[in-house]
Structure 1
């Protein structure tokens, strides 16, 4: 059994959204985009720890933008073959499917419904299925220390109950041996002269206080003198070369939390219960390598349906999911389903924590390489665009393969712009050259189905190849201006030639000449493009304050457009 989808209407930041789930689902998105609200909608239907009071929603639970009269949450369950669920749902099943709904009115009255797509749904007596179908929820504010203290006894008791007779008999013999060892240990301690002397006066005073204390004595003992009680009060410790480690580190406590929790699930394994596991932000307090390790671990060690939320690019990279959900912020719709998975998978080897940062961004500026990233980050700061505050990302595609990144942003509903070099390439085996950059930009537009660009392309495509040297003829520059304007309107920006050439031709030229000590344009270009990422980083380190002179130049147009695209998105109240 698994949850196939959930339809949420009027609940918190969800006006009317359908979210699809898989066997292993990863939910991501920026802050305040509704990840926790999505999980709470599922908890209303399936979390046994919620009480009747939790079902009486307050005014703040109703979507403030649409102000609905009711909240509706409907989960569609599929692949229901477990005997306990088939029995409990009975006639409400059809082909292994059923719907469960929760409806709450403004006055707080609520009801649950169940049924199937063919026969319809009917009102039912609360959550009649909750003993057999439960959601195990691990929240982001989990208290690892309290959980470990609470779970230790349960973990030991569960393991004790699943022993076979031989193991239980062996344990009883071992406990008797431990008891004998304890008694011997405590006798040895009492025989130490300084301990005996210290307690003699205590015992003498006890006798003087009451005759009932005669024949008894106070002793210093190592722990509990009863082996059974000693075992019931063990303290969980983590050892390194037999030396106990203090659980002061939140990261290690987080790892131990999941290890203990998963062990409990593994030992108990109730046969008449189906669980859906929901985990919020497992990466808490872990450094990147351990975040990746935990994400990979959680991908494979939990049977059944798992829904996991995250803010971590490392988790996005490593969690093996067959479904993705990106919660929408600022009025954008929540994205899920096979199309989204397909576009993410198309990134293939390109997906890494830097690329995964895009999933949490409000807008993305795609550039060719690291030198562009260094320059445009510095330029943004110089002209007053705070990328971190605006939650914008500048991402290198490490070449000219923009399409997978563009399609990914489009699938996620994330505004994007790009800037690519206006390369001039020689035609093989001919004394001809072509505007490869313009062709590349058009191919991106064509793949996006931008019909407005097509007539402009048809008018100029025959003139993009010319005889002679690499210098672009003036008439070709004029001919493609209309096409370039249309491409920029779509967010596809072309340099005049490339970043370094354009900078040499800009108001920054004097600063470049002084820094590189090269007056001639070609010498200056050669100096800038030799190990260009390193050179750009060093130059920006010394001259970041000088970039303000480019505030009104074409360099800022992609940044300005991205800000407009992001601010034009509808906002929630």
Structure 2
């Protein structure tokens, strides 16, 4: 399955445009020339959450609501015998695909939106088929269509916070591992080591002095039979609490690199979203 072309009509800053694309694309250019709107055209096609609210007047080029929005993507399915993804797509589109006797087996997915001036709302209707002039409406139930069973889209915000994303999902990633019997001996060993680390931390002069002074300050505010102690979060929240992702090169056994580079962080964030 290969994406070959995206055509946009009357959508935001695109009055009429056809862009040749591939399965991997890099979009660059000066500010305010439509890079984000180009991505939104793709997202409206494939993202049911984004389609949920339809289009407002500002989504129509120059607010020209007398002309429909049309977004069409062309897909080459000629690798059917080699690609499992193509086979899955063809299975999902059922009778909408008829193989023409051409070297390129092209399939079209199209979004159209006619603006309802009374409701001030542009409803979205999806079509697909191998005959561009006779596309059929895609079956749907509510906001979810058959298209959404064939494609699952993840949009990674360029401002995504990798640390927050990873920490937020740690429990989801690792909660099953902690309960697996095959790992129980390793888990018990780690817990023992963690307790030993905290015992050693508590012996440090600077730590003991700080704990004593902070306990005194605390008791000036409230008289309680308590003391303040510093502990590694591993001992309180579990050993997964301190786990963070690093990059390790395959030919470098001893060095780990922080994921500080913007491009690397985005790639890792995408990997986590995809996972």
Q: Is TM more than 0.5 here?
A: yes
* Matched positions, count: 243
Residues 180 and 89 (structure 1 numbering): CA distance in 2 closer, same or farther, change over 3 Å? same
Deviation of 1:159 (Å): 7.3
The structure with the largest helix share of the pair is 1
Aligned ranges 1:407-486 → 2 under 5 Å: none
Residues 237 and 46 (structure 1 numbering): CA distance in 2 closer, same or farther, change over 3 Å? closer
Q: SS at the partner of 1:50?
A: helix
Deviation of 1:238 (Å): 6.1
Q: SS at the partner of 1:260?
A: helix
The counterpart of 1:84, out of the listed 77, 85, 88, is 88
2:166 corresponding residue in structure 1: 151
- 8 Å contact 1:4–1:76 — kept in the other structure? yes
Deviation of 1:182 (Å): 2.2
The counterpart of 2:154, out of the listed 122, 131, 136, is 136
Unaligned runs of 5+ in 2: 100-104, 248-253
2:8 corresponding residue in structure 1: 8
Q: Distance in 1 between matches of 2:30 and 2:62?
A: 20
Q: Aligned Cα RMSD in Å?
A: 4.1
The counterpart of 2:114, out of the listed 95, 98, 105, is 105
Q: Which has the larger radius of gyration?
A: 1
Q: Distance in 1 between matches of 2:256 and 2:91?
A: 52
Aligned ranges 1:375-390 → 2 under 5 Å: none
The counterpart of 1:75, out of the listed 73, 76, 80, is 73
2:135 corresponding residue in structure 1: 121
2:251 corresponding residue in structure 1: none
Unaligned runs of 5+ in 1: 269-573
Deviation of 1:69 (Å): 2.5
1:186 aligns with 2:198: yes
Residues 26 and 182 (structure 1 numbering): CA distance in 2 closer, same or farther, change over 3 Å? closer
Deviation of 1:45 (Å): 0.5
2:62 corresponding residue in structure 1: 64
- 8 Å contact 1:223–1:230 — kept in the other structure? no
TM-score normalised by the chain length of structure 2: 0.68
TM-score normalised by the chain length of structure 1: 0.36
Q: Deviations over 1:550-570 (max 9, x none)?
A: xxxxxxxxxxxxxxxxxxxxx
Q: Which 4+ stretches in 1 moved above 6 angstroms?
A: 199-205, 241-245
Aligned ranges 1:154-553 → 2 under 5 Å: 154=169, 157-158=172-173, 171-190=183-202, 194-195=208-209, 218=227, 220-224=229-233, 226=235, 229-234=237-242, 236=244, 252-264=260-272, 268=275
Residues 188 and 159 (structure 1 numbering): CA distance in 2 closer, same or farther, change over 3 Å? closer
Residues 189 and 71 (structure 1 numbering): CA distance in 2 closer, same or farther, change over 3 Å? closer
Q: Distance in 2 between matches of 1:8 and 1:235?
A: 45
Q: Distance in 2 between matches of 1:265 and 1:225?
A: 26
1:94 corresponding residue in structure 2: 98
- 8 Å contact 2:6–2:19 — kept in the other structure? yes
Deviation of 1:12 (Å): 1.8
Residues 47 and 156 (structure 1 numbering): CA distance in 2 closer, same or farther, change over 3 Å? same
Q: SS at the partner of 1:32?
A: coil
Residues 149 and 92 (structure 1 numbering): CA distance in 2 closer, same or farther, change over 3 Å? same
Q: Deviations over 1:193-218 (max 9, x none)?
A: 7458658879999xx85xxx7xxx64
Q: SS at the partner of 2:199?
A: helix
1:45 corresponding residue in structure 2: 45
- 8 Å contact 2:112–2:126 — kept in the other structure? yes
